[in-house]
Structure 1
Amino acid sequence: MDNSFKSGSRKTVFRRIYARVGDYWQALIAAAVLVSVAAVTQPALAYIMKPLLDEGFNGAKPHYIWSIPLTVIGLFLVRGILNFLSDYLLAWIANNVLLGIRKDMFEKLLGMPDAQFQKGDTGRLMNRFTIDAGNITDYATEVCIILVRDGAVVIALLAMLLYLSWQLTLIIFIILPISVITTRIFVKRLRRINMKTVDINADLTRVVKESIEGQRVVKLFNGYRFERDRFLSINGSLRRFAMRSAIASAAMTPITQLSIAFAVGVVIATALYQGSTGALTVGSFAAFLTALAQIFDPVKRLTNVAARMQKMLVAADSVFTLIDSPQEKDQGGLKLDPAERGPISFENVSFRFPDAGSDTLSDISFTVNRGETIAFVGRSGSGKTTLVNMIPRFVDPVSGQITMNGRNIADYSLESLRSQLSLVSQSVVLFEGTMAQNVAYGFFGDTSEERIREALASANLLDYVDSLPQGLETPIGENGAWLSGGQRQRLAIARALIKNAPILILDEATSALDNESERQVQASLETLMKGRTTFVIAHRLSTVQNADRILVLDRGRIVEQGNHTELLKTDGLYASLYQMQFRED
């Protein structure tokens, strides 16, 4: 079995592609019939040479003066119409298949575990959508056209060649297989080259994406040379592999042509001998040569179809690897009733990242009551973010459990669990669209203008929105690029307000803001936190002083807990961190 593909054997990948094409079998059959009928016109054009030379030029049949030209025009007209209709049907099939592939890819993408996105492999993921998916249908369409159309043309022309002279045709059959054997040698090399090219293309996309998104850092830290060298290295590798692919593909063509030229030479010598004995007329030989000349291009395309098929299979393997990727574990079928807002408990929870040498979190236990605000503080790497990421099940404990209303959160469906959660983080994610669209994002309840305005007012952003010429319909740019940091945070708060989830996660929500923006955002957050169970991660300890309880983490363990006043009195790690920040301020 060929194990060179991640999503299955070569045959498996091939079957999966054409299983999707088979969903449109009626259009496919219609296209095949049209292509086959069009293929019959090819040998007919060649066969016209026989009566034209044998009976036309000697005046034996005067009506050939108008009948043969009209026949030629009619054949081209019929072939043109049939080819247009077949190309249209194949394009319709290809675009519908592409639509389905990208739909499946996107659904699988959003269902992938959070850990997959943390690998930073966005370049490869984007490549699969923009390049690989398109390559599947492009190459699959080409392969279909070549196999059906050129295959039918070759069969029809071979039938005519046998009819005109089986001896000359036999010579062709003996010599041409040499080119087929040679082609197989190149195909294996092309497969390896094309798979490597897909990987390098993904790396190139990633580097360009990072350079675009990090252009300010590149400029400020004088990273031009580093980014340029990195880009040139990958771009150079891409060029080298592209040239290897081009050389391998190009080498097949002259080898094929050389074998054909040798066959033609032998055919001419044999035809001259048959002509001298009266076994072959000039018209028959002219028709034979015309058919032979017409068969070269489709044979060449059929010979090269293996290279296109390899590119198609490589692209398909990349796409199916995404479609087959593991999804988030969602075995729970229970629905979380928001009316039953009981405590949330961490019971001896531990977590370790794959391949890590030690636990990120060790034996974490605490309970949060309804409406309580819990803050997590500690040095960088102490496990704060990992801990709160367990609540929406972005990561799951390796041991222990987290319960809500007395049930393990894994017993609830992900949709039900996450419907009860809102998140406001330091890295605000907004979507290209209007103010109103971002506030109402993902919420299927009441998203009237009045509700949106109420949410914006509670987030202290309504006055700014009303000052804009387009108001709620103001576009905000890619990821809110046209807004300030504080405005982006308050827009995210408005989004959380309109969702009105009973559980709130604040992850460094004000750490990237200046003092004035922090003051405005903090006021909005206080409105958002009212009546909600809130989990707060904060680097600035001044923002957690009013928390009901503060848990201090160090090296994945809870080392202190209490309110702000109690922790300062213990003169432990929290007091040390607080004094350090106080001196810095």
Structure 2
Amino acid sequence: MKNFLFKIKKNLDNGKKYYFFLKQNGLSTKLIRFTFIFRMLTSFLAIVGIGLLLPLAKGIISQNFDFLLSSSIYENISNYLPFISSFDYLQIFFLFSFFIFLATTTKNLILYYGGIYLTAERLKIASNTNRFVFDNYLELGKPFYDKSEGSSESFFFMRFSIQIRNLLNSFDTVIDISIKFISLSLLMILISEQLYFFSIILLFPFILINKILIRSLRKSIDKDAKSELGFPVSVNNCFLRLPLTFVHNQEKYESNEFMACCKDFEKNKLAIDRKLSMIKPINEFFIFFAMLIFSLYLGYLSYINSIDIAKGLVFFYAFKQFIGIAESLTNVHIGITRSTVQIKKSFKVIEKFRKKIVPSGTIKFEGLNNEIFFKNLSFKYPGKKENVLNNIKFRIKKGEITSIIGRSGSGKSTLASLLLRLYDCKKNKIFIDNIDIREYSNHSIRDHIFFVHQDPIIFNDSLYKNVIYGANKDVSKEKVIEILTKLKLGPLLRGLEKGIDTEITSMGVNLSGGEKQRISLARALLNNAEIVLFDEPTSALDALTEYEIKSAVDEFTKNKTVIIIAHRLYTIKGSNKVVVMEEGRIVEKGQIKKLLKQNKQFKKYWDSQRLDL
């Protein structure tokens, strides 16, 4: 009993969670009210149609409608429409037929137009839920994306919208079934209480068997949901590895991996289909068995004159509709089971979102007045034991160029991520103009810092849209061409069939590493941010191209606060300050000339690259 009550409470809690979530995303009281009225009206018209069959059938069997004369309803109608009292048999037959046709046609018209309205509203709610999830994604910090699979997340987006829509459809069907059940029950009780309770007894085993089958189906659906999320990840990995596949002759391996993934996918689908396939024949057997017993019982009641033939025929038709409701209940139960398994997983992901969000402050950052100060900053990545930064302390003055150098893995890029609020740091460890960075809103900080990443992100769109991405103003195509030319991308433009409107493939696979980096630099040159953060901006460029574009970059960074993260020291020659990092610690800092005189780690880097002042 305790388990039973616990399950009821759990289902109610889940129901409330879904309801409040949907309400938050557009499910209004008005829509719920409309659904109830819509379904009540169509059910009422359906019952009117069935109810009119009773006198029609009785009149056809007895070949006269004299029994109507004693009816109070007939008397009331005759008072308003006196000419009806003079109708003969055929005229009354056609009158009843007309009313049945009118009720059925009106019901179907309401179903059509009401259905269109409900579908449109459901699509709006589904779109709102997608927007809600997507907005949560946009609020996440880098810790989430470090562990997420892009293809899996894309598939999650598509499935989430579909399952929300399916759930709304199921709720609508539940309302429809409930109203139809009540309406039909009242009609059947009015015709014959005895037959009604006999019908309920006949359907009880049908409902019980279906409940057991659906409980078994839920486990398979759960496995299938995991498989569905894993499948796109495997396929995406296969495509990402294609260059390696060709170079290392791994076509057979990839084919086997893909087939193994397909077989696992098929296995889970087959398990569901096998159980679904069982439901239909079992249902048909019980329905046939129930109809047979009901027909025999109805025949027996007619034989002993306990019910007249007309009532028996109409009740038989109503019983058939009753069985249809039981079948619909099974289908909607399956639909809700499939939807809720996916949606429960979705809610878990949404909860995971909230834990990964980098908190944002309330102060709007209006621009740098004096300096950025890293004060004894230590940091470790979520889930890691070792610090990647230890006791980092230095200042970045407004209008100066500060360079951070060191080996790979020394913590340089982590500093950039913390400054951009892609990760959260401890309180009072990074200050901007003597205010803790955590007190500023994340968006306002990013509005004033432009980041040029060492691995440029190129997406599947035109070259023009790739370059202007992140620009805080409208940019003409002529301006983009001018900047690309300054960055020595004139030959690329001339080689493209549609020039700046040519579509670039995803990840820029049809571009060289140097071209991608210069597109990333072009984005920076179009942006008017006062702080520019370069993370290895020219690592993929040859020395000559780097030298040729340096003047364009220098012109752009004039009078700005510039932070350069670099391996190649040619890019830091104009720096006011250099910070040298080793294993997450600062080992040297100061001006270039001063560091060269100290003859320590920086001098080794400088000499290894054979640079002159």
List per-residue Cα deviations over 1:13-69 (Å, max 9, x = no partner). 332355357743334433432332222344455456544554325543334664455
Correspondence 1:30 to 2:34: yes
Question: How far apart in 2 are the matches of 1:175 and 1:65?
Answer: 34
Correspondence 1:285 to 2:347: no
Kept in 2, the 8 Å contact 1:200–1:238? The answer is: yes
1:560–1:103: structure 2 CA closer, same or farther, 3 Å change rule? same
2:116 aligns with one of 88, 92, 115: 88
Kept in 2, the 8 Å contact 1:504–1:533? The answer is: yes
Partner of 1:177: 204
Aligned residue runs from structure 1 range 291-330, under 5 A? 291-324=318-351, 325-326=353-354, 328-330=357-359
1:508 aligns with one of 536, 561, 564: 536
Kept in 2, the 8 Å contact 1:333–1:411? The answer is: yes
Aligned residue runs from structure 1 range 96-111, under 5 A? 96-111=124-139
Question: How far apart in 1 are the matches of 2:291 and 2:511?
Answer: 72
SS in 2 for 1:176: helix
Question: How far apart in 2 are the matches of 1:351 and 1:72?
Answer: 77
Question: How far apart in 2 are the matches of 1:218 and 1:212?
Answer: 9
Structure 1 regions of 5+ residues with no counterpart?
none
Measure how far apart 1:519 and its partner are. Answer: 4.5
SS in 1 for 2:421: coil
Question: How far apart in 2 are the matches of 1:222 and 1:519?
Answer: 39
Specify the code of the residue in structure 2 equivalent to 1:282: I
SS in 2 for 1:390: helix
> RMSD of the TM alignment (CA)?
3.5
Question: How far apart in 1 are the matches of 2:249 and 2:560?
Answer: 46
Correspondence 1:358 to 2:386: yes
Aligned residue runs from structure 1 range 192-211, under 5 A? 192-211=219-238
Partner of 2:361: 332
1:412–1:2: structure 2 CA closer, same or farther, 3 Å change rule? farther
1:399–1:258: structure 2 CA closer, same or farther, 3 Å change rule? same
Correspondence 1:40 to 2:67: no
Aligned residue runs from structure 1 range 225-304, under 5 A? 225-304=252-331
Measure how far apart 1:416 and its partner are. Answer: 2.1
**Relative contact order (C-alpha < 8 Å, sep 6+): which is higher?**
1
Kept in 2, the 8 Å contact 1:132–1:316? The answer is: yes
Question: How far apart in 2 are the matches of 1:297 and 1:78?
Answer: 21
Partner of 2:73: none
Specify the code of the residue in structure 2 equivalent to 1:422: F
Question: How far apart in 1 are the matches of 2:308 and 2:545?
Answer: 94
Measure how far apart 1:534 and its partner are. Answer: 2.2
More displaced, 308-317 or 49-58?
Answer: 49-58
Question: How far apart in 2 are the matches of 1:307 and 1:505?
Answer: 54
SS in 1 for 2:526: helix
Measure how far apart 1:518 and its partner are. Answer: 4.2
List per-residue Cα deviations over 1:158-181 (Å, max 9, x = no partner). 223223322222112123223333
Correspondence 1:116 to 2:116: no
1:284–1:334: structure 2 CA closer, same or farther, 3 Å change rule? closer
List per-residue Cα deviations over 1:386-430 (Å, max 9, x = no partner). 122111121233476122222222222212211221111122124
1:16–1:471: structure 2 CA closer, same or farther, 3 Å change rule? same
1:165 aligns with one of 192, 205, 221: 192
Question: How far apart in 2 are the matches of 1:441 and 1:569?
Answer: 43
Kept in 2, the 8 Å contact 1:14–1:313? The answer is: no
Kept in 1, the 8 Å contact 2:61–2:310? The answer is: no
Aligned residue runs from structure 1 range 50-61, under 5 A? 50-51=54-55, 53-56=57-60, 59-60=63-64, 61=89
Specify the code of the residue in structure 2 equivalent to 1:128: F
Correspondence 1:526 to 2:554: yes
Measure how far apart 1:569 and its partner are. Answer: 6.1
Specify the code of the residue in structure 1 equivalent to 2:561: T
Partner of 2:395: 367
The count of aligned residue pairs is 580
Correspondence 1:216 to 2:243: yes
1:173–1:446: structure 2 CA closer, same or farther, 3 Å change rule? closer
SS in 2 for 1:341: coil
Kept in 2, the 8 Å contact 1:171–1:266? The answer is: no
1:132 aligns with one of 141, 144, 160: 160
Question: How far apart in 2 are the matches of 1:445 and 1:277?
Answer: 89
Question: How far apart in 1 are the matches of 2:397 and 2:293?
Answer: 93
Kept in 1, the 8 Å contact 2:127–2:161? The answer is: no
Kept in 1, the 8 Å contact 2:207–2:326? The answer is: no
Partner of 2:432: 404
Kept in 2, the 8 Å contact 1:490–1:521? The answer is: no
SS in 2 for 1:354: coil
- The TM-score, its normalising length taken from structure 1, stands at 0.87
1:156 aligns with one of 172, 183, 191: 183
Partner of 1:494: 522
Kept in 2, the 8 Å contact 1:2–1:9? The answer is: no
Specify the code of the residue in structure 1 equivalent to 2:263: G
Correspondence 1:344 to 2:377: no
Partner of 1:13: 17
More displaced, 245-254 or 75-84?
Answer: 245-254
Kept in 1, the 8 Å contact 2:392–2:586? The answer is: yes
1:264–1:3: structure 2 CA closer, same or farther, 3 Å change rule? closer
Kept in 2, the 8 Å contact 1:56–1:62? The answer is: no
More displaced, 195-204 or 225-234?
Answer: 225-234
1:540–1:222: structure 2 CA closer, same or farther, 3 Å change rule? farther
Specify the code of the residue in structure 1 equivalent to 2:362: G
1:466–1:562: structure 2 CA closer, same or farther, 3 Å change rule? same
Question: How far apart in 2 are the matches of 1:510 and 1:348?
Answer: 30
Kept in 2, the 8 Å contact 1:352–1:398? The answer is: no
Specify the code of the residue in structure 1 equivalent to 2:39: V
SS in 2 for 1:346: strand
Structure whose CA Rg is larger: 2
Correspondence 1:147 to 2:178: no
SS in 1 for 2:365: coil
2:404 aligns with one of 376, 393, 400: 376
Question: How far apart in 2 are the matches of 1:419 and 1:536?
Answer: 18
More displaced, 440-449 or 402-411?
Answer: 440-449
List per-residue Cα deviations over 1:472-492 (Å, max 9, x = no partner). 555545455665443333232
Measure how far apart 1:115 and its partner are. Answer: 0.9
1:370–1:18: structure 2 CA closer, same or farther, 3 Å change rule? closer
